[in-house]
A and B are shown apart, each in its own frame.
Chain A
């Protein structure tokens, strides 16, 4: 099946710094990718839709200046958490899919802000 790779799997950063997370579709082109956030023992919350070549679409309540999304190519979307604070600590997951089929998820990134 299709593969989506997410990097890094874990990152620890200091408050106030920015962290970039990459999501790559390895064997297919994805014009759309999605970014989710998951708190411990909770479900996935959709943060934004990453659109290749255009601006991301953010869900209500998600700060677009805090979570910068860039989808510069058909195989790569990046999520940058800017000026990170401890409350940004979470598990971030990306997904991509071919049309009208199941979604393929990255392995997730555990972000800890200290």
Chain B
């Protein structure tokens, strides 16, 4: 089962523009993680934000978390064609890091 939904399902932007993806989840969480997946490949971890954090940055990535609204957003600034991929939020974490994924956003960055 999915933990929640992401929107938009698909996003197409020009290189240099910012991309924002939103994630909503259903249950209380320890942390929320964002992953990236290139077509037909495994997932790569991008960033983890804990439930007591509201915002986190990593390079061109900015993640926010609003536990009262059970939502998170991922902002990619100054996008590049190489950012083209699917992006998933995931909740779960804990000792074993059992993750439940959102529906994903397919980002296409046009050169």
Contact = CB atoms under 8 A, between A and B. Distances in A.
A106 B42 contact: yes
Chain B contact residues: helix, strand, loop or mixed: loop
Contacts of B82: none
Contacts of A31: 96
Interface residues of B, number: 26
Contact of A34 (B1, B94, B98): B98
Contacts, number: 71
Given A41-B106, A43-B102, A44-B101, A49 B96 contact: yes
B88 interface: yes
B96 A32 contact: yes
A87 interface: no
B48 interface: yes
B97 A97 contact: yes
Chain A interface size, under 10 / 10 to 19 / 20 to 34 / 35 or more: 20 to 34
A99 interface: yes
Contacts of A99: 95-97
Interface string B29-57: 00001010000111111001000000000
B11 interface: no
Interface of B: 1-2, 33, 35, 40-45, 48, 88, 90, 93-104, 106
Interface of A: 4, 6, 31-32, 34, 36, 41-46, 49, 59-60, 91, 93, 95, 97, 99-108, 110
23 contacts: A32-B96, A32-B97, A32-B98, A34-B99, A36-B101, A41-B106, A42-B103, A43-B2, A43-B102, A44-B88, A46-B99, A91-B40, A99-B96, A100-B94, A100-B97, A101-B48, A102-B45, A102-B48, A103-B45, A103-B97, A107-B42, A108-B41, A108-B42
